[in-house]
Structure 1
Amino acid sequence: MNKKKIMSSLGDASEFLGEEFWDVINDFLPLVNPRIDIIRTDKEMTIFAELPGIQSEEDLSIRIQGRILIIAGEIKRPYIEDGQELMKDERFTGPFKRKVRLSEDCIIEKLIASYINGLLKIVIPIYSDEQNDPQQEIPVRFLENNNNTNN
């Protein structure tokens, strides 16, 4: 099913069932968090992750396990004080963990991560064709010619 057809079907369902139905459904359906975009060029792969509400380095962890990039942490709600009642709860808060499989040509050791205005940006260089598939000289072993070519 393509994206346009899905969006059209959701629009039809929303019209038929009403907005209140989707408010209730959204409370029960967990979303994958954080949401990410991945862009790839011939030189690098860039991952953008939506993480509004991260306050400090202690709230965010980026690790590599094998060829898996793991983004984990916790989004807090520091503006809710004792005695206040939360009337609508739509923003994602709490612990999160997202795994992204990295291709073999990613140079993990040169990964760079930055965070600004709620957006995490991870840039991973990619081996070029020359780096990834270097030519290798193959030595040729010369054998004595004694009519035995099985050596």
Structure 2
Amino acid sequence: MRSDTFNEFDALTRFLGSRTGSARSPQFMPIDLYKIDNSYVLHADLPGMDPGSIDVKVDRGVLTITAQRTAPSEEGVQWLTSERFSGIYRRQISLGDDVDTERITASYDNGVLSLTIPLHEQAKPRQIEVVQGRDEAARPLVSSTAAPA
């Protein structure tokens, strides 16, 4: 059975653990995902993250992105409003068979994690040359044991 990369990635993405979330703990990591040329490109919004806390792994066809934003100290603080999420963010995406997991690259710039996820060479579209005239490959095969006419 052939796997279609990212076909149902939203159904397979989950936030770490069974926490229900709150004003201080997010439930999601917004992403954009698109295909361009021979690669998929994923952008994940992770504003305010320490780049050292961002972890990207591939295991058994599942891409996992984990990052952590530490909450400011609560000691002696009287909050007037608290709208910035803190805690652990995690997103898991099932990859298809056509992805070259050995060549995935990642960068983090201006709060956005960008991944380039290339296709395997054999999964890339290729042009088949069409030749004019009869080609040896197109001739019908004749059995060597056929009786002469």
Residues in 2 aligned to 1:31 and 1:106: alpha-carbon distance in whole angstroms? 29
Q: In the TM superposition, what is the alpha-carbon distance from 1:86 to its structure 2 partner?
A: 2.2
Q: Could you say which residue in structure 1 is the equivalent of 2:17?
A: none
The equivalent residue for 1:132 is 123
* Alignment deviations for residues 73-123 of structure 1 (CA, whole Å, 9 cap, x no partner): 211134x56322222222221012110111221111000000011100010
Report if aligned partners of 2:26, 2:87 keep a CA contact under 8 Å in 1: no
Q: 4+ residue stretches of structure 1 with deviation over 4 A?
A: none
User: Map of 1:65-104 to 2, 5 A cutoff?
Assistant: 65-78=59-72, 80=73, 82-104=75-97
Query: SS where residue 113 of structure 1 aligns?
Result: strand
Q: CA deviation at 1:53?
A: 1.5
Give secondary structure in 1 for the equivalent of 2:102. Answer: helix
State the AA in 2 paired with 1:132.
Answer: A
Q: Deviations along 1:15-53, whole A, 9 cap, x unmatched?
A: xxxxxxxxxxx958x854211110112311011001112
- Asked if the contact 2:50–2:68 (Cα under 8 Å) also holds between the matched residues in 1, the reply is no
TM-score, normalisation: structure 1? 0.60
How large is the RMSD of aligned CA atoms in angstroms? 2.9
Residue 114 (1) aligns with residue 116 (2): no
Equivalent residue in structure 1 for 2:116, among 106, 123, 127: 123
Whether 2:48 is the aligned partner of 1:53: answer yes
TM, length-normalised to structure 2:
0.61
Report the residue type matching 2:71 in the other structure. Answer: R
- Higher RCO, Cα 8 Å, sep 6+: 2
Task: Give the helix-richer structure, 1 or 2.
Answer: 1
Return closer, same or farther for 1:46/1:90 CA change in 2, 3 Å cut-off: same
Residue number in structure 2 paired with 1:44: 39
Contact 1:53 1:76 in 2 (8 A): no
- Alignment size in residue pairs: 110
